[in-house]
Amino acid sequence: MEFINNDEKYKYELGNVNMELFLKYEKELKESLIDNERRFWHSISVAITAVTLADIYNVDKDSCLVAGLLHDYSKSLKYDELLKACDEYGVILSEEDKLSDGCIHGFLAAKICKVKYNISDEVYDAIYYHTCGRPNMTALEKIIYMADFIEPLRRFRDNIAEIRRLTYTDIDLAIVKATAMSLEFLKRREKYIHSLTIKTHDYYKNLVDK
Ligand SMILES: [Fe+2]
Ligand SMILES: [Fe+2]
């Protein structure tokens, strides 16, 4: 598949990233998401958004870039393919994980990227927890969690402006709002809700209420 040329669109933002790293993982991502152009550009957008948050929260820019680019590395796989790949790569899934089909691609992507690219443990965790979050996340994990939520190509979020603003000013409160929105979305669709998503919401709600 030929990807559309968005170079002009991203020219300004790309000036701010480690181009060597960007080009390396952009190439890998294109191969992994070969049938999913929208997801490819979402990943680029998450990476660039994460880099813009790095200085604010004193996090390494390259880690933000790599975790952002690779977080949805396994997103093209269907449910049975995800389970098969988890088996191959030794990703242990609980019964609850298996019910939360939206979370598995993060667990798998972290493991595959560790094996293939030897990503750092910090980047591994940021990719692993990008779907469900977890209590007491590192700053990098919070950045990837929120960049995934607010990146500018996201089309389906209502009232995103406030959450986007909060992500740059009070990321813990942004997580409370984002997880509340995710919980509501899952309930409305009658989807299984992973306990980590609930724990993440409760943890950050308690933290900001203090
Ligand atoms: Fe994802
Ligand atoms: Fe994503």
Determine the topology of domain 16-153 in CATH.
Hypothetical protein af1432 (1.10.3210)
Distance in Å, CA 107 to ligand 1 centroid:
10
* CA proximity to 65, closest of 138, 8, 143: 143
Centre of ligand 1 to C-alpha 140, Å, is 15
Distance, CA of 42 to CA of 154 (rounded, Å): 8
Ligand at shortest distance from the CA of 131 = 1
Give the pLDDT score at 131. Answer: 96
Over residues 36-61, the pLDDT tens digits come to 888 999 999 999 999 999 999 999 99
Please tell me the distance between residue 156's alpha carbon and the centre of ligand 2 in angstroms. 13
What is the structure's pLDDT at 11?
47
Cβ-based neighbours of 19, under 8 Å, separated by 6 or more: none
Q: What is the largest distance, in Å, between two alpha-carbon atoms of the chain?
A: 51
Q: What is the pLDDT of residue 36?
A: 87
The pLDDT of residue 17 is: 81
| Burial of 97 per CB tally in 10 Å (0-12, 13-18, 19+) | middle
Are 68 and 48 within 8 A, CB to CB? yes
Calpha distance 10→49 (Å, rounded)? 11
Residue ranges covered by each domain of the chain: 16-153
- CA-based nearest residue to 182, from 162, 164, 151, 158: 158
Q: What is the pLDDT of residue 177?
A: 95
- Please tell me the pTM assigned to this model: 0.93
Tens-digit pLDDT profile for residues 6-21:
555 444 456 678 888 9
Ranges under pLDDT 70 in the chain: 1-15, 155-157
Query: What protein residues have CB closer than 5 angstroms to ion ligand 2?
Result: 72, 148
Rounded distance from Cα 71 to ligand 1 centre (Å): 6
| Total Cβ atoms within 10 A of residue 164 | 18
Q: Say which amino acid occupies 96.
A: E
